Amino acid sequence: MPRDESTPIPQCLGALLWPSFFVAGVVTVVFFSFIDPIALRDITFPSLKLGRELGYTLGFFLIWLATASSSLFTWILLRPGRQIRSSTRSGRGP
């Protein structure tokens, strides 16, 4: 979502974090309906004593971080270039 000076920061953050939160919730449900967090722990880090609840929580936040990073990258790519921003501020249109 390209941000101009009139768009409030909380609205921009909401536009980045809310869709990624929703997708992370759906992906977490689908992922953990096939994969048991305890089995995943035994394969990856058998020495750590992590319970199912902590596995679900860590999984959700890691997936949320990945989807939020994707949204942030898309936002960065959609921002106008410096030349366009400077010409709009000086009153010259594109």
- The mean per-residue pLDDT over the stretch 39-59 comes to 92
pLDDT computed for residue 25 by the predictor: 96
Given a cut of 90, is residue 35 above it in pLDDT?
Answer: yes
Share of the chain above pLDDT 90, in %: 53
Given a cut of 80, is residue 3 above it in pLDDT?
Answer: no
Given a cut of 60, is residue 94 above it in pLDDT?
Answer: no
Sequence-separated contacts (24+) of 16-23 with Cβ below 8 Å: 16/68, 16/71, 16/72, 16/75, 17/68, 17/71, 19/67, 19/71, 20/64, 20/67, 20/68, 20/70, 20/71, 21/64, 21/67, 21/68, 23/67
